[in-house]
Structure 1
Amino acid sequence: MEARLEKKSMLWINVLSVAIPVVVALLLGIRQKFDFGAWTKTLPHVIGIINSLTSVLLLYGFYLIKQGKIEQHKNVMTGAFLLGGLFLVCYVAYHITNQSTAFGGEGFVRYLYFFVLISHIGLSFVVLPLVLRAYYFSWTNQIARHRKIAKIAFPIWLYVSITGVIAYLMIRPYYV
């Protein structure tokens, strides 16, 4: 019974790991934007805050686990996980209601921005199935498996969160 449940859970994780990026890409491709009101213009700033908080929680969660504070670690990492979901909702809401903002920087800073942005986006696709698996293994008390995948997921997730903040700070002057 347990093996069947895990197989079903892994199937769902795989489906979500593919479906979420595909759905986001399709939604971003919609040329006709929806009008949910002017409040959606504030979402990039909310997203920057979410990425900042996620980075802090990831670092704090890492600290807690190194201190052996397992329950606190679980709570903090659950907070980071939930912020990831909130990020996704805000990101989609912004991009289905607003045109993309062009980066106005020139020279080296332009190349730097696009490196940060492209690596951020690319690794966000990579980290999604890792985080989902790490969370699942923790939830099902498969600590050895959780630890093994978390060692891979953590630095990627932290990089994605921090580069999200950096990309936001770099493009912030160009929001209308």
Structure 2
Amino acid sequence: MIRRFWNLLVKYHIRTVIVITLVVNMLVILLSFLPGYVGDFPPWVTRLPLLNAVLNSFTFIFLMLALLAILRRKIILHQRFIYAAFTTTAVFLISYVTFHFMAESTPYGGTGFIAGFYYFILITHIILAAVIVPLALMSFFTGYKDMRAVHRKWVRWTMPLWLYVSATGVLVYVMISPYYTF
């Protein structure tokens, strides 16, 4: 049954990408309008931002290793690193949604040039994080289906943008973490 469901997702990968993109991005948008949790957080919730930064770091590393593997024509190794990047990204997404369901946004406390830098990184990170969902999924499915010519066209955009999103996710955490108040 699971195998049949997977085969349907792969067969109709464009529909799959559209549905997953809409669900993920709408969920994140919805969370930004919900009020935060009232009361003391369970201790595990306060650790989620650090976990998110660690997961983004692993995603960045896995993507770089996947890139090096494919440049050396080690396709199986490349696939394994891509699966690892998708796994850390999926766990990140669950952790991110959980944290932002529980917590209100933390305002940045820096000023001057550093505040401008932070908001530039944050805004580009948010926009590209939404954009990377369909790009990464299309890259994944075209690679999984061994549609190499199409896959190459997708990853030309996906890889640098996904690397940027994962790296800036860590940077945003490093810059905002001093201002957490839980």
Q: TM-score, normalised by structure 2?
A: 0.89
Provide runs of 4+ in structure 1 moved above 4 Å: 4-7
| TM-aligned CA deviation for residue 32 of structure 1 | 4.5
Distance 1:94 1:161 in 2: 18
For 1:169 and 1:85, locate their aligned partners in 2 and report how far apart those are by CA, in whole Å.
21
Name which of 30, 39, 42 aligns with 1:26: 30
> Which residue of the partner structure matches residue 137 of structure 1?
142
- CA drift at 1:175: 1.6
Q: Mark the runs of 5 or more structure 1 residues left unpaired by the alignment.
A: none
Structure 1 letter corresponding to 2:32: L
Q: How many angstroms does 1:27 deviate by?
A: 2.1
Aligned counterpart, 1:146:
151
Unaligned runs of 5+ in 2: 1-7
Which amino acid is the alignment partner of residue 118 of structure 2?
Y
Match of 2:18 in 1: 14
Q: Secondary structure at the match of 1:96?
A: helix
Partners of 1:5 and 1:123 lie apart in 2 by 24
Which residue type is aligned with residue 59 of structure 1? M
Report the RMSD for the aligned CA atoms in angstroms.
Answer: 1.8
- Residues 37 and 5 of structure 1: CA distance in aligned 2, closer, same or farther (over 3 Å): closer
Report the identity percentage: 35
Distance in 1, Cα, partners of 2:9 & 2:97:
31
CA distance in 2, matches of 1:38, 1:11: 39
Letter in 1 for 2:163: L
Separation (CA, whole Å) in 1 of partners of 2:38 and 2:64 = 37
Paired AA for residue 123 in structure 1: L
Q: Please give the alpha-carbon distance, in whole angstroms, between the structure 2 residues aligned to 1:129 and 1:141.
A: 18
Alignment of 1:46-125 (within 5 A): 46-125=51-130
TM-score (norm 1): 0.92
In structure 2, do the counterparts of structure 1 residues 13 and 55 end up closer, same or farther at CA, with 3 Å as the change threshold?
same
Alpha-carbon distance in structure 2 between the residues aligned to 1:174 and 1:5: 42
The structure-2 alpha-carbon separation of the partners of 1:32 and 1:169, relative to structure 1 and needing over 3 Å to count, comes to: closer
